Structure 1
Amino acid sequence: MRYRLTFVAGLALGYVLGTRAGHERYEQLKKSMRQVAQNPAVRNTAETAAHQSRELAGKALHTVSEKVGDRVPDSVTNRVRSLRERNAAGSGEDDWGTSNT
């Protein structure tokens, strides 16, 4: 019960402080985040991380497929195959139509 009261008190305090900060603070944070997201160094780092994660995922897929073999359902196998073919085509976009570049 004490933890619930602490949680509710935290929510109330956050709400009050958030409403006092107002719309100006929200806009300031939004502008700062936009500047960070448009920074070339940040974009290059994000692209490098995405590329490395794709490589590691490919290695993991190979290792898992060797160990699991034919025990994976066909629906999963077909979905993974179609995703890999689509990504190999070089569209660079994810399911939401966004890309790192």
Structure 2
Amino acid sequence: MRYKVTFVVGLALGYVLGTRAGRERYEELKKSARELAQNPAVRNAAESAGQTGRQFAGKAFTVVSEKVGDALPDRHALAGRVRSLRNRAGGGGEDDWGTSNT
């Protein structure tokens, strides 16, 4: 599934960069992409995929930390560091698509 999505994104990007239709067509594609991102089904699928990824990462962290032991930092301390880096970089708010970056 990941490869299909990557292919479609690459195809769309190639079309946008290679099109000779000009700014009008670009704006039309941008509007279509924004509408697609606002679609509740797409948003639900993205949230579901994100949740599944977070669950998998949590399980993987647990398994790795059991094998490695005390060499890994505390899970909550690591999450705090990531949040502070995002805030320092200006992330964590709304992006151009109206979705959360967190």
State the TM-score bracket (shorter-chain normalisation).
0.5 to 0.7
2:59 equivalent in structure 1: 59
| Equivalent AA in structure 2 for residue 29 of structure 1 | L
Higher relative helix content:
1
Residues in 2 aligned to 1:50 and 1:17: alpha-carbon distance in whole angstroms: 31
Cα deviation digits, residues 24-57 of structure 1 (max 9, x gap): 0110110110110000000001111111111111
Dislocated runs of 4+, deviation >3 Å: none
Residues in 2 aligned to 1:57 and 1:23: alpha-carbon distance in whole angstroms: 41
Residues in 2 aligned to 1:31 and 1:39: alpha-carbon distance in whole angstroms: 12
Indicate the structure whose relative CO is greater, using CA pairs within 8 Å and at least 6 residues apart. Answer: 1
| Equivalent AA in structure 2 for residue 41 of structure 1 | A
Quick one: percent identity of the two aligned structures?
Answer: 53
Normalised by the length of structure 2, the TM-score is 0.58
Alignment CA distance shift 1:28-1:71 (3 Å): same
5+ residue gaps in structure 2?
A: 1-14, 84-90, 95-99
